[in-house]
């Protein structure tokens, strides 16, 4: 059954491959470029400019290059450290610089400035192709005047530590940036823009994925302040940020572009893959391996401890179903739970979910639970997640490992490193949230 579980995980990751996802929606036939159901006549286009940011943007740029190498005038695609293309793949004239994630850094600021400069003189007969994927909000960074990078770094770190969901984090980020929340579309205007988007947010809200740089923004300065208050951070918000947000809420700074702004009439935002893409592939592979499959229809969010309780309940139900039918089965879902940091241990939300679940399914025979970050890097670790069973806790205890203590210290990585249950895929150069597979036989 372990081979089946790894086949399911591999299928999910292949389905979310950024190169393939681009080629599935962007096609060229001579001078006709088609994106989804929209056609672009290349003979009417003066320049093709390629921009991008995110964990999957390098292979996305490679896919665009295979189609339009003879037409691309220039490009800048910003990726997370370690997420560039192999040395043998040349996509000139597109540059692929690296920067910090999940906390932005000086390289992010510098390379974003290069990207902005690329759009400085766009004309109506230019075509901008924007390649957007998870992590893009940290990599595309250009703070508003009066707010320093250090302020943004401090607040981003505080939001992450508080367990704020990506919707709240990006609501704040958009109102401290010159490029997020539809403002990149404003910079690219009057050119036409195609945004190819690899979604890492449940429900695919265009204004939240990578902070919605080419989409109308539904959030406001007041929403940003409310998010900081909700997570107990407003009182400790860096003064420059608090002053800027208050001034914006009072109408002294322009709001981010909203629905109905004419700049968006020249923008096509196209989702090319998402969590459901990966989940459907996982389900298909599970069925091909002879399992009866239930795939949860909703994107699962919320505190990781509560999600673990729910997963444990589903595991017990699956065990009972298999015992009654005699047929192996799988329960699959996608999502992105949040972790509240209580200590200084090492881990990520998938490893924390796996450890919390292991404690609750201890003793249940013939089950496996795999919790997987599709980008291959769960939190600040080199693991994608972990695979646990009903034997995990007892086996660890026999080796002197106190699972509950590791969980309390947010130290799931070192627990699984010692137990041998870490799942390591390496960087996948994609990001469509998390996949959880529960198997019983």
Taking 90 as the threshold, does the pLDDT of residue 103 lie above it?
no
Asked whether the predicted pLDDT for residue 359 surpasses 90, the reply is yes
Domain holding 243, by residue range, is 2-273
Task: Please indicate, yes or no, whether residues 158 and 224 belong to a single structural domain of this protein.
Answer: yes
pLDDT of amino acid 134: 87
What is the average pLDDT across 126-145? Answer: 95
Does the CA dihedral 417-422-424-428 come out positive or negative? negative
Q: What is the pLDDT of residues 155-211, one digit of tens each?
A: 988 998 888 888 899 999 999 999 999 999 999 999 999 999 999 999 999 999 999
182 close to 176: Cβ distance less than 8 angstroms: no
- The overall average pLDDT reported for the chain is 96
Instruction: Please identify, among 273, 307, 326, the residue that sits at the C-terminal boundary of a domain.
Output: 273
Find the DSSP H helices in 203-361. Answer: 221-230, 239-249, 275-288, 304-325, 349-360
Among 245, 273, 301, the domain boundary falls at: 273
Tens-place pLDDT, residues 217-276: 999 999 999 999 999 999 999 999 999 999 999 999 999 999 999 999 999 999 999 999
- Give me the percent of the chain exceeding a pLDDT of 90: 94
- The whole-angstrom separation of Cα 130 and Cα 114 is 14
Out of 158-162, 202-206, 278-282, 335-339, least confident range: 158-162
The reply to whether 168 and 20 lie within a common domain is: yes
pLDDT of the residue at 349: 96
Cβ neighbours of residue 187 closer than 8 Å, sequence gap 6 or more: 116, 119, 179
Statement to judge: residues 268 and 295 lie in one domain: no
> What are the tens digits of pLDDT across the range 7-35?
999 999 999 999 999 999 999 999 999 99
Cα angle value 180/186/188 (rounded, 5°): 105
CATH assignment of the domain containing 60: 3.40.50.10180
- Structural domains in the chain (count): 2
State whether 127 and 253 are in the same domain.
yes
The predicted pLDDT at position 427 comes to 87
Q: Are residues 344 and 235 in the same domain?
A: no
Same structural domain, 348 and 228 = no
In this structure, what token pair is assigned to residue 5? 């579980």
Q: Residue 122: is its pLDDT beyond 90?
A: yes
Residues 95 and 237 grouped into a single domain? yes
Look at residue 345 and tell me whether its pLDDT is greater than 90.
yes
Please say if the pLDDT value at position 131 is more than 90: yes
Q: What is the structure's pLDDT at 166?
A: 86
pLDDT of residue 436 exceeding 90: yes
Residues 282 and 431 placed together within one structural domain of the fold: yes
- Taking 90 as the threshold, does the pLDDT of residue 340 lie above it? no
Domain boundary, last residue among 243, 273, 303: 273
Question: DSSP characters for 153-182?
Answer: HHHHHHHHHTT--HHHHHHHHHTTBSSTTT
- pLDDT score, position 327: 97
Query: Is 378 found in the same domain as 252?
Result: no
Instruction: Quote the pLDDT of residue 178.
Output: 97
Greater pLDDT, 162 or 392: 392
How much is the pTM?
0.89
pLDDT at 362 over 90: yes
Q: State whether 158 and 198 are in the same domain.
A: yes
Residues 383, 328 within the same domain: yes
- pLDDT computed for residue 371 by the predictor: 98
Same-domain status, 82 and 220 = yes
Distance CA 154, CA 240 (A): 12
How does residue 37 score in pLDDT terms, banded at 50, 70 and 90? very high
Residue 372 sits in a domain whose CATH number is 3.40.1480.10
State pLDDT tens for residues 63-74.
Answer: 999 999 999 999
């Amino acid at each position: 059954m372990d081979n089946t579980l790894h086949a399911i995980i591999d299928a999910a990751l292949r389905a979310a491959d950024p190169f393939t996802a681009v080629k599935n929606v962007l096609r060229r036939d001579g001078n006709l470029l088609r994106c989804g159901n929209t056609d672009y006549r290349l003979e009417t286009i003066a320049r093709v400019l390629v921009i991008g940011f995110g964990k999957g943007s390098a292979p996305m740029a490679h896919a665009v290059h295979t189609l339009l190498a003879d037409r691309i005038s220039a490009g800048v695609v910003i990726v997370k450290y370690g997420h560039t293309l192999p040395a043998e793949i040349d996509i000139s004239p597109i540059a692929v610089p690296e920067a910090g994630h999940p906390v932005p850094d000086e390289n992010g600021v510098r390379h974003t400035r290069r990207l902005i400069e690329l759009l400085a003189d766009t004309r109506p007969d230019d075509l901008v192709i924007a390649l957007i994927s998870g992590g893009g909000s940290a990599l595309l960074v250009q703070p508003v005047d009066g707010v320093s990078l250090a302020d943004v770094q401090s607040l981003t770190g505080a939001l992450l530590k508080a367990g704020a969901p990506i919707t709240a984090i990006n609501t704040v980020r958009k109102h401290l940036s010159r490029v997020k929340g539809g403002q990149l579309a404003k910079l690219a205007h009057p050119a036409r823009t195609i945004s190819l988007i690899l979604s890492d947010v449940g429900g695919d809200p265009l204004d939240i994925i990578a902070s919605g740089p080419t989409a109308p923004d539904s959030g406001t300065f007041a929403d940003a302040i409310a998010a900081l208050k909700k997570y107990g951070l407003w009182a400790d918000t860096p003064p420059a940020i608090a002053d800027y947000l208050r001034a914006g809420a009072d109408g002294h700074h322009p709001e981010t572009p909203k629905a109905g702004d004419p700049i968006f009439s020249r923008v096509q935002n196209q989702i090319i893959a998402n969590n459901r893409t990966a989940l459907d592939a996982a389900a298909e592979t599970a069925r091909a391996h002879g399992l009866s499959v239930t795939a949860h229809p909703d994107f699962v969010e919320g505190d990781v401890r509560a999600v673990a309780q729910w997963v444990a309940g589903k595991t017990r139900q699956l065990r009972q179903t298999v015992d009654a039918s005699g047929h192996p089965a799988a329960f699959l879902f996608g999502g992105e739970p949040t972790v509240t940091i209580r200590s200084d241990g090492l881990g990520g939300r998938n490893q924390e979910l796996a450890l919390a679940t292991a404690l609750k399914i201890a003793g249940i025979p013939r089950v496996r639970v795999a919790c997987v970050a599709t980008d291959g890097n769960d939190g600040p670790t080199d693991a994608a997640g972990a695979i646990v069973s009903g034997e995990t806790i007892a086996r660890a205890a026999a080796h002197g490992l106190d699972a509950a203590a590791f969980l309390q210290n947010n130290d799931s990585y070192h627990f699984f490193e010692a137990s041998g249950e870490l799942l390591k895929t390496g960087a996948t150069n994609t990001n469509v949230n998390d996949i959880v597979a529960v198997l019983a036989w």
